[in-house]
């Protein structure tokens, strides 16, 4: 079947582009001796998780425990849950998952560390542990200083935990490449100081986890970060192109849509809105996505199932039933709207993949 025969709205994945993105990232990290543990939140798909590991990833990063369970079911055997896990139900599930995977957890508080330690050590289990530090993004993460060193020591001492190192969230995704370069060099300076304080305290580490897709190919500028967990690079999106680090040809995911109304002058309505794309905005550009066939069209407004698309003076007529393709602003939240995606090579559908970890919020 050709992608033009798919009913819309439908997510289509260009497998050639996806594979090129996977190869290019892995080759870069291999060249620089950086371990790659990509974040699966972007795709939530067992098939893509397996492809990432087959290409050389050491394992996967997950945000939620339910995502990790899906990836374990898919056969991935080395998983990091990069999120503070809390609550009896989650701790019971964590113990079951630890029996079948190599697991690493992340926390920024003694409360979370101690609860995980109790739950796992009671069953004679152990997981790796990273302490999340705040190097400037002010999301989770304990500030560098004596309390941070003390939490690392606690992680090293607690039963059921094996202290492996640090994690930081480097969400500086805006700005120019030059600004991201400067940010990474400053990050390296910060991390050298932080790691020095661990050494002084007699603590050893094997992992410093960081990284984000827009600065992925600059990761060698902050060599203290020896494990990268970028996610968006598998598909790329309008925000990634806007950041200047990839081109439209690197975008592996599109949403096929259909013109369903052209009754209002100067506008067409496509059969996809905020329940297809998510409402995530673009950092720099107007609208909610880029039309592949006519980049002058502006997806300027959405209701849940309606995409208000502004024509421009030079635009061709857009008849009812016309098929168009949109590259979303933010592919991670757009994928999360869909239960399945169609995979093609050169337009011929070769597979349909479930977004199996969609909705795994716990």
279 makes contact with its own copies (CB under 8 A): yes
For its own copies (CB under 8 A), the number of binding residues is 61
| Nearest-angstrom CA–CA distance, 337 and 55 | 27
* Binding segment (CB under 8 A) for its own copies, from list 22-30, 178-186, 211-219, 253-261: 253-261
Question: What would the x/- binding string for its own copies be over residues 155 to 184, using CB under 8 A?
Answer: ----------------x-------------
| Cβ at position 208, least distance to its own copies in Å | 18
The only residue of 35, 37, 41, 154 in contact with its own copies, by rule CB under 8 A:
41
333 makes contact with its own copies (CB under 8 A): yes
Q: Which is nearer to its own copies, 96 or 362 (CB)?
A: 362
The only residue of 176, 303, 312, 316 in contact with its own copies, by rule CB under 8 A:
303
| Cβ at position 227, least distance to its own copies in Å | 20
* Binding segment (CB under 8 A) for its own copies, from list 18-26, 178-186, 301-309, 346-354: 301-309
Please, are residues 183 and 172 in contact by the beta-carbon 8 Å criterion? yes
In sequence order, which residues have a C-beta less than 8 Å from that of residue 207 and are 6 or more positions away? 35, 104, 128, 130, 164, 165, 166, 167, 226, 227
118 makes contact with its own copies (CB under 8 A): no
Report the half-sphere exposure of 86 (CA within 13 A, side-chain side): 8
SS3 61: strand
Strand partners, 128: 104, 162
| Cβ at position 30, least distance to its own copies in Å | 28
Q: Which is nearer to its own copies, 199 or 303 (CB)?
A: 303
The only residue of 26, 121, 197, 262 in contact with its own copies, by rule CB under 8 A:
262
138 makes contact with its own copies (CB under 8 A): yes
Instruction: Annotate 261-287 with DSSP letters as a single string.
Output: E--STTEEEES--HHHH-SPPPSSSSS
Please, are residues 333 and 36 in contact by the beta-carbon 8 Å criterion? no
In sequence order, which residues have a C-beta less than 8 Å from that of residue 352 and are 6 or more positions away? 340, 341, 342, 343
What are the backbone dihedrals phi and psi of residue 73, each rounded to the nearest 5 degrees, phi first? Answer: -60, -30
In sequence order, which residues have a C-beta less than 8 Å from that of residue 182 and are 6 or more positions away? none
In sequence order, which residues have a C-beta less than 8 Å from that of residue 331 and are 6 or more positions away? 42, 232, 235, 236, 237, 253
Residue numbers at the binding site for its own copies (CB under 8 A) = 7-10, 41, 63-64, 83-84, 86-87, 89-90, 108-109, 111-112, 132, 134, 138-143, 171, 258, 260-264, 267, 269, 271-272, 274-276, 278-281, 303-306, 308, 319-321, 332-333, 336-339, 358-359, 361-362
């Amino acid at each position: 079947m050709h992608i033009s025969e798919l009913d819309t709205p439908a997510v289509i994945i260009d497998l050639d582009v996806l594979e090129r993105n996977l190869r290019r990232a892995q080759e870069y990290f291999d060249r620089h001796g950086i371990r790659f543990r990509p974040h699966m939140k972007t795709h939530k798909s067992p098939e893509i998780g397996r492809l990432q590991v087959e290409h050389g990833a050491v394992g996967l990063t997950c945000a939620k425990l339910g995502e990790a369970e899906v990836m374990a079911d898919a056969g991935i055997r080395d998983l990091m849950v990069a999120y503070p896990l809390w609550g009896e139900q989650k701790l019971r599930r964590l113990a079951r998952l630890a029996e079948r995977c190599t697991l690493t957890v992340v926390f920024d508080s003694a409360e979370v560390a101690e609860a995980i330690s109790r739950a796992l050590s009671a069953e004679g289990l152990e997981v790796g542990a990273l302490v999340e530090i705040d190097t400037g993004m002010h999301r989770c993460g304990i500030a560098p200083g004596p309390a941070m060193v003390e939490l690392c020591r606690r992680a090293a001492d607690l039963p059921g935990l094996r202290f492996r190192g640090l994690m930081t969230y480097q969400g500086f995704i805006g700005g120019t490449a030059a600004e991201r370069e400067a940010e990474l060099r400053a990050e390296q300076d910060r991390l050298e100081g932080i790691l020095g304080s661990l050494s002084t305290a007699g603590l050893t580490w094997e992992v410093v986890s960081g990284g984000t897709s827009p600065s992925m190919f600059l990761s060698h500028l902050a060599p203290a970060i020896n494990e990268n967990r970028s996610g968006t690079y598998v598909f790329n999106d309008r925000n990634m192109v806007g950041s200047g680090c990839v081109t439209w040809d690197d975008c592996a995911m599109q949403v096929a849509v259909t013109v369903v109304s052209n009754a209002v002058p100067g506008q067409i309505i496509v059969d996809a809105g905020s329940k297809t794309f998510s409402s995530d905005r673009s950092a720099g550009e107007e609208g909610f996505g880029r039309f592949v066939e006519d980049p002058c069209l502006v997806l300027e407004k959405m209701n849940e199932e309606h995409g208000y698309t502004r024509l421009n003076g030079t635009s061709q007529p857009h008849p009812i039933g016309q098929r168009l393709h949109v590259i979303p602003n933010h592919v991670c939240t757009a994928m999360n709207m869909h239960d399945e995606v169609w995979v093609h090579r050169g337009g011929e559908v070769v597979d349909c993949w479930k977004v199996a970890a969609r909705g795994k919020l716990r």
